[in-house]
């Protein structure tokens, strides 16, 4: 009898979780917030994430550990010398399957298909084939277009042609393009017609500091500078995401010194991007072989950096965060002001239900006691999120708090 029962159980088809998940539909609302099947999300992603099926040091699939912390997106697509040939397609399927079974979404890079010179040529035909092949997969999130096109002086018409073909073939998944930390608003703006989601990458942590940027600001506050630049580029008509650093070529190439952002640095850069309008954040470089110690090399990803730094940041801003409602809310119209902008105080105000959130950070410079005014008169006390049990007192719609260089404070006030 036991053997018969075992046989009966084994004959039941195994239904994987991702097989029952419907194809995803990604849209963007009028506040430039991303929606997945109608639900607002603040996307936290990785270029690249742990490989499909690879385990974390805890023995669970690596993507599951990222998802449990609140991450949602992962970049896929050919890398290095790879192309969208038939030999690569099974690997993309593995990425999409892994994303789906772990509750995440892939962002395939179109790479050589991101620019199409002729609507009816072989390249256009291949692009349609690839998009058609994967557009209904439940693990597909968005398409990644050309990489750093302004810096590469890429011609706009072929990029626009590829964009149009993707959206005609797959209206449910937007196109995201990442610019280099180069160019001006005027030189970046013409590329707006080639994507739905803008972006820029910036990696400030290196020896000497700031080698990734040619601008004069070499502090980590350059993240805010470039967020403002891409924000002005899209003119409020499109969302933009910031790509931030785990590691990059300026820290791993021969002759360079390996260096990673500390937790305070990574936390500041992430929140400064959010405060300056980023509607998503992607972390780059977790897979770079030059950054992996012996344990992590065997696992295929930088779990040491995750454990020591990045998990804590993702838990604060991922979709399991206590401030998640603020991250997907529109900017508030409350007349909140600070007289300390000259001291480097930057902030954004969001409202969700009865809660009023003030997300604030400070650039380099002296420690200051900043004052914020213009809050609703009925507020009396605010929680400093992630700094319990600390609170701030509100009097006549105003409160004060101290900011050291690169400090971040998140305040939540609840109306009676």
Q: Is the pTM of this model over 0.85?
A: yes
Label residue 1 exposed, middle or buried (CB < 10 Å: 0-12, 13-18, 19+). Answer: exposed
Q: Which runs of E-coded beta strand occur in 85-215?
A: 105-108, 143-147, 175-178, 198-201
Token couple for 288:
């770079």
Residue 20 confidence (pLDDT): 64
Contact between 317 and 283 under an 8 Å Cβ cutoff? The reply is no
What's the rounded Cα separation, in Å, for the pair 102 and 88?
A: 22
Looking only at the bridges linking them, the beta strands covering 355-362 and 281-284 are: unpaired
Does residue 292 come out as left (phi exceeding 0), alpha (psi in the -120 to 50 range) or beta? beta
114 pLDDT higher than 80: yes
Average pLDDT of span 297-303: 98
- For residue 310 the two structure tokens come to 């990045």
The rounded distance, in Å, linking the Cα atoms of 180 and 154 is: 12
Report the percent of the chain where pLDDT is more than 70. 95
Per-residue pLDDT tens digits for 100-109: 999 999 999 9
Average pLDDT over residues 287-302: 98
What pLDDT is attached to residue 21?
79
pLDDT of amino acid 2: 37
Task: With beta carbons less than 8 A apart as the criterion, state whether 100 and 67 touch.
Answer: no
How is 277-316 classified by DSSP, letter by letter? T-S-EEEE-TT-GGG--HHHHHHTS-HHHIIIIIHHHHHH
Give pLDDT, residue 234. 98
The yes-or-no verdict on residue 395 having pLDDT over 80 is yes
Please determine, for residue 279, whether its predicted confidence score (pLDDT) is greater than 70: yes
Which string of DSSP letters, residue by residue, matches 16-67?
Answer: -GGGGSPPP-EEE-TTS-EEETTEEE--EEEES-SPTTPBPTTSSBHHHHHH
pLDDT the model gives residue 344 = 97
Q: What is the pLDDT of residue 12?
A: 30
Rounded to the nearest 5°, which phi and psi values hold at 293?
-75, 180
> Distance between CA atoms of 20 and 354, rounded to whole angstroms?
36
What are the phi and psi torsion angles at 391 (to 5°)?
-135, 165
Domains of the chain: 15-321 (3.20.20.80), 337-414 (2.60.40.1180)
The structure tokens 């017609």 sit at 193
Q: Any idea which residue has 């600070």 for tokens?
A: 338
Helix (H) or strand (E) holding 403: strand 399-403
């Amino acid at each position: 009898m036991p053997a018969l029962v075992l046989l009966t159980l084994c004959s039941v088809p195994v239904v994987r979780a991702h097989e029952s998940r419907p194809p995803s539909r990604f849209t963007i609302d009028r506040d430039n917030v991303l929606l997945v099947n109608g639900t607002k999300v603040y996307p936290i992603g990785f270029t690249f994430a742990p490989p499909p099926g690879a385990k974390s040091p805890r023995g669970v699939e690596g993507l599951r550990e990222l998802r449990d912390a609140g991450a949602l997106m992962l970049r896929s697509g050919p890398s290095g010398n790879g192309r969208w040939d038939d030999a690569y397609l099974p690997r993309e399927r593995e990425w999409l399957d892994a994303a789906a079974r772990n509750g995440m979404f892939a962002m395939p890079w179109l790479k050589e298909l991101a620019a199409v010179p002729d609507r009816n040529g072989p390249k256009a035909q291949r692009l349609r084939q690839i998009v058609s092949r994967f557009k209904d997969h439940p693990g597909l999130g968005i398409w990644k277009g050309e990489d750093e096109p302004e810096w590469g002086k890429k011609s706009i018409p072929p990029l626009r042609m590829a964009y149009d073909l993707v959206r005609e073939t797959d209206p449910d998944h937007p196109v995201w393009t990442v610019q280099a930390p180069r160019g001006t608003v005027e030189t970046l703006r013409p590329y707006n017609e080639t994507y739905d989601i803008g972006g820029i990458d910036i990696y400030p942590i290196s020896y000497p500091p700031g080698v990734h940027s040619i601008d004069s600001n070499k502090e980590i506050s350059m993240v805010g500078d470039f967020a403002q630049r891409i924000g002005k580029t899209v003119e409020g008509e499109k969302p933009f995401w910031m790509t931030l650093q785990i590691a990059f070529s300026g820290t791993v190439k021969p002759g360079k010194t390996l260096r990673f952002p500390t937790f305070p640095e990574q936390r500041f850069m992430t929140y400064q991007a959010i405060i300056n309008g980023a509607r998503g954040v992607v972390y780059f470089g977790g897979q770079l072989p030059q950054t992996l110690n012996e344990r992590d090399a065997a696992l295929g990803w930088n779990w040491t950096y995750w454990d020591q730094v990045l998990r804590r940041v993702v838990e604060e801003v991922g979709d399991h965060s206590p401030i998640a409602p603020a991250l997907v809310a529109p900017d508030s119209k409350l007349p909140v002001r600070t007289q300390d902008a000259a001291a480097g105080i930057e902030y954004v105000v969001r409202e969700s239900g009865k809660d009023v959130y003030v997300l604030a950070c400070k650039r380099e410079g002296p420690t200051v006691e900043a004052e914020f005014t213009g809050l609703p008169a009925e507020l009396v006390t605010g929680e400093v999120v992630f700094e319990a049990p600390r609170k701030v007192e509100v009097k006549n719609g105003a409160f004060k708090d101290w900011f050291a260089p690169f400090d971040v404070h998140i305040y939540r006030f609840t109306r009676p």
